[in-house]
């Protein structure tokens, strides 16, 4: 297995809902006019609370300074696991489940905070730049570490500094944050970049103008709808996460849909904003899923985390997580 450390230096920011109009110019440019910027990594996720932006340094320049914009202080690096084209069986679980044991758990054990971004194409594990030596130390036993420099993949030599790293004690990880599961179902999809202009206005509408209509829906626990939409444009690949109703607004054959037409239910983690320092949250969720062999997407936002699991598995997931929760308490 190879772990690629990508060269993007990323910023994680939050834009308050009421301040979105200040930033729309920059966001539209980043999302729909990739040739006008040098940005290679852009992700926008709308939650009921805010808009979370993950963007590289070139893209960050497009955003204005504003009181509505709050930025996490750290610079983040994206890690990407490449299986090296091995021929695993087709029933292999996808998403965070696959890397839960190999990447997420070891990082949690070493108290490294991670920020997850699953896309249609792959999973990105964001770590703070300052944690990189520790990350490399932690993962070098399991992975071939490769660093992307100017588009070239080169072997990243582990700094060799192994002294001073404390061997962590392995403790069971109870789930400590409250979970909720909104009623609407989601679709993880993509589209051909060539067709992006034809649906750009629709996407803008979805991104910026449909929030107000369902003012109250997002806050209701469990049963209610949640307003959740994610768009990312990373190295030329588009990924979209939206609920099923939203997909119906798109013309036929524009969205990439899986042959089986699978749909996903969301598990939302956190009652209070989670902050960026606490570690182990992703591990708490993904480890039970990996044990149960349930595929999942995982999208962290500025305030909360979101896991997407197959609709047919939602009950068993909730069950598994609740068990974990109870044992933890």
Partner 1 sequence: MSSGYKPDILWSPHHADRYVICDTELSLYRIGPAGSPETKAGTLPLSEETAATLLAINSDTPYMKCVAWYPKHEPECLLAVGQANGRVVLTSLGQSHNSKCKELVGKEFVPKHARQCNTLAWNPVDSNWLAAGLDKHRADFSVLIWDISSKFSPESVPAEKARLSGDVDSGLLVTKPLYELGQNDACLSLCWLPRDHQKLLLAGMHRNLAIFDLRNTSQKTFVNTKAIQGVTVDPHFPDRVASFFEGQVAIWDLRKFEKPVFTLTEQPKPLTKVAWCPTRMGLLATLTRDSNIIRLYDMQHTPMPFGDEVEPTIIERSVQPCSESIISSFAWHPSAQNRMVVVSPNRVMNDFTVFERISLAWSSTTSLMWACGRHLYECTEDGGQGAAAADKDIATKMRERAQSHYGHDTVQVWRNHVLAGGDDPQLRSLWYTLHFMKQYTENLEQKQQSNKQSLIYSGIKNIVKSSSGTTETRRCWSGSDRQTDVPRYHSEERSLALQLCGWISRGPDIDVEPFLKSLEQEGEWERAAAVALFNLDIRRAIQILNKGASAEKGDLNLNVVAMALSGYTDEKNSLWREMCSSLRLQLKKAHLCIMFAFLTSEPGAFDAVLYESRVAVRDRVAFACMFLNDTQLPRYIDKLTYEMKEAGNLEGILLTGLTKDGVDLMESYVDRTGDVQTASFCMLKGSPGEVLKDPRVQCWIENYRNLLDAWRFWHKRAEFDIHRSKLDPSSKPLPQVFVSCNFCGKSISYSCSAIPHQGRGFSQYGVSGSPTKSKVTSCPGCRKPLPRCALCLMNMGTPVSSCPGTGKADEKADLTRDKKLAQFNNWFTWCHNCRHGGHAGHMLSWFRDHSECPVSACTCKCMQLDTTGNLVPSDSA
Residues lying near partner 1 in the complex (CB under 8 A) are found at 2, 82-88, 90, 92-95, 98, 120-123, 152-153, 187, 189-192, 194-195, 237, 247, 252-253, 255-262
Burial, 309: exposed, middle or buried (Cβ in 10 Å; 0-12, 13-18, 19+)? buried
Residue owning tokens 């029933």: 91
Tokens of 25: 């110019």
Q: For the chain, what is the largest distance between any 2 Cα atoms, rounded to a whole number of angstroms?
A: 57
Residues facing residue 232 across a β-bridge: 43, 239
Count the residues in the chain: 329
Report helix, strand or coil for 294. Answer: coil
Report helix, strand or coil for 302. Answer: coil
Stretch (H or E) spanning 148: strand 144-149
Smallest distance, Å, CB 320 to partner 1? 21
CA–CA distance, 163 with 79 (Å, rounded to integer): 24
Smallest distance, Å, CB 41 to partner 1? 16
Please calculate the CA angle 123-126-128 and round it to the nearest 5 degrees: 170
Tokens of 106: 């070891």
Stretch (H or E) spanning 325: helix 314-328
In the chain, which ranges are continuous DSSP H helix? 20-32, 57-60, 96-99, 105-109, 132-139, 196-204, 244-247, 281-292, 314-328
């Amino acid at each position: 297995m190879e772990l690629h450390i990508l060269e993007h230096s990323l910023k994680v920011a939050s834009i308050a809902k009421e301040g979105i109009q200040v930033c729309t110019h920059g966001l539209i440019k980043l999302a729909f006019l990739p040739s006008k910027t040098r940005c290679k990594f852009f992700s926008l996720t709308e939650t009921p609370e805010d808009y979370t932006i993950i963007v590289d340094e070139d893209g960050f320049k497009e955003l204005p300074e504003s009181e509505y914009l709050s930025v996490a202080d750290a610079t983040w690096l994206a890690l990407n696991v490449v299986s090296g084209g091995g021929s695993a069986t087709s029933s292999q679980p996808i998403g965070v489940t696959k890397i839960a044991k190999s990447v997420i758990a070891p990082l949690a054990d070493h108290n490294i905070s991670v920020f997850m971004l699953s896309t249609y194409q792959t999973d990105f594990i964001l770590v703070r730049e300052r944690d990189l030596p520790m990350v490399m130390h932690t993962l070098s036993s399991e992975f071939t570490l490769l660093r992307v420099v100017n588009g070239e993949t080169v072997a990243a030599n582990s700094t060799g500094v192994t002294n001073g790293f404390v061997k962590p004690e392995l403790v069971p990880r109870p789930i400590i944050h409250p979970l909720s599961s909104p009623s609407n179902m989601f679709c993880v999809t993509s589209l051909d970049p060539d067709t992006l202009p034809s649906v750009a206005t629709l996407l803008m509408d979805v991104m910026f103008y449909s929030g107000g209509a369902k003012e109250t829906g997002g806050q209701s626990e469990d049963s209610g709808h949640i307003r959740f939409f994610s768009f990312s444009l990373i190295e030329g690949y588009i990924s979209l996460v939206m609920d099923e109703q939203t997909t119906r607004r798109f013309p036929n054959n524009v969205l990439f849909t899986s042959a089986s037409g699978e749909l996903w239910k969301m598990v939302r983690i956190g009652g209070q904003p989670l902050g960026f320092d606490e570690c182990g949250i992703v591990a708490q969720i993904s480890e039970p899923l990996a044990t149960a062999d349930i595929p999942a997407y995982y999208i962290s936002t500025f305030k909360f985390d979101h896991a997407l699991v197959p609709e047919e598995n939602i009950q068993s997931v909730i069950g598994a997580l609740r068990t974990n929760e109870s044992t933890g308490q």
